[in-house]
Homo-oligomer: A and B are copies of this chain.
Amino acid sequence: MSKPLEGYKVIEIAQEIQGPFASMLLAFLGASVVKIEHPASGDLSRWMLTSLIGGAEVKNPQVSHYFIAMNQHKRSITLDLKKPAAVQVVRRMAESYDVLITNYRPGVLDRLGLGYEELLRINPKIVYAQGSSWGPRGPWVTRPSRDTLAQAASGLMAQTGMPHDPPIPAGIMAADHAGALSLAAGIFAGLLARERTGKGQKVDVSIYGTLLAMQGFEINYTSLSGQEPLRAGISHAFLRGVWGAYKTADGYLCLAGVDDGRWPRFCRILGIEHLEKAPGFDNIGRNVHGDKVRAELEKIFPTRTTAEWLTELNAADILVTEVADYKSVLNSEQARVNGYIRELDHPTAGKVKIAGNPLIFNGEIESTATMPPELGQHTEEVLLELGYGWEDIERMRNEGVL
């Protein structure tokens, strides 16, 4: 066994990001994941093609960047779970599978006869993972949601943006992905508990709960101090100084604080030795309430290119980096050697670089990725494994079950 989850079998009944991304992490760690999709619609993410965003003239206009990002290394079977025979297939899977993962609204699978209690009777060791938007209890349990609502309800959106901006989100699907990381973490811990106790586990992880846990730094400040933090603007409510992006001659670089040990050489590189011991430029003055230092630096950084500054500042061990766009990220040597960017051999797009796996075990890094499945590509294969015969498969196809 070379991967932590090798040998585990996972049923995915999920859509879009939280469930699929979590189960892809399980697949990266060696689990065998079967994704169950509706025969007609499939996972919604299949239908967001690059051309829908960028127009017909983009490269690879008929490929879904979205589906690839969430569903590598899985098998796909089609089942219309509104049909009892389809539910029976899942129940048969549950006999020998280890994990069920879903991000359907809480209660949906229960109404289909696929709730935790139900599956526990079939398999007393099953790990049943319910991803959700808002958590397993309370007034919002069945409220629908998508990424941006969790950013709004958790306080993240109010905190992000320049003072004159409306509340704005982190510009990526940060909530859904954080909720997926949590959900995967919960499943790993659930499997651990199951191996230690021999008993099935119900795991509940919500996107809202994850974002609140990620904001203890700010939430606890408000609770203890009685004050709302200022909006973060270019930096962070608590680190308003040498923190955040600065315009250079040809782009932006980003700084993350300058401590007392580094300050003298930072001043030398920037040519502001006269400010090294100036009032308001001490540690707290420049790192926590640093409007003065910011005003000075904004005059200096535009005089040279990002590369010029980075060479000198990095050599002095200053905390600095380029503000990268995605083309730069895709060419990052650091990302490549750690498998954070990997190569996918795509049947129509050819060899393309895509985002990879953040979890490295025992130094084993993979540099290539595996294609996501076509809709229902493995229906027969999986049903035959479960002991169904070809006649069963044909009958279910005729009845619209598959």
Cα-based distance from A170 to B332 in the complex (angstroms): 22
Residues of B within 8 A of A190 (CB): 4, 361
Q: Does A314 have its Cβ within 8 Å of any Cβ on chain B? A: yes
Q: Is the beta-carbon distance between B168 and A320 smaller than 8 angstroms?
A: no
Q: Is the beta-carbon distance between B216 and A355 smaller than 8 angstroms?
A: yes
What are some 28 contacts across the A-B interface (CB < 8 A)?
Answer: A1-B193, A4-B192, A50-B224, A53-B288, A54-B227, A59-B224, A66-B220, A66-B238, A135-B334, A148-B236, A148-B255, A152-B245, A152-B252, A156-B172, A159-B172, A160-B168, A161-B168, A161-B171, A166-B252, A174-B174, A177-B213, A177-B215, A188-B189, A193-B361, A203-B361, A208-B340, A216-B354, A224-B352
Interface centre among A4, A48, A190, A227 (most CB of B within 10 A): A4
Q: Is the beta-carbon distance between B202 and A362 smaller than 8 angstroms?
A: yes
Q: Does A109 have its Cβ within 8 Å of any Cβ on chain B? A: no
**Complex interface residues of chain A between 196 and 245 (CB less than 8 A to chain B):** 196-197, 201-206, 208-210, 212-229, 231-238, 243-245
Q: Is the beta-carbon distance between B181 and A210 smaller than 8 angstroms?
A: yes
Q: Does A266 have its Cβ within 8 Å of any Cβ on chain B? A: no
Partner of A152 from the list B203, B218, B220, B322 (CB cut-off 8 Å) is: B322
User: Interface stretch among A137-145, A374-382, A392-400?
Assistant: A137-145
Contact A212 B340, CB 8 Å, known A59-B226, A139-B334, A206-B358: yes
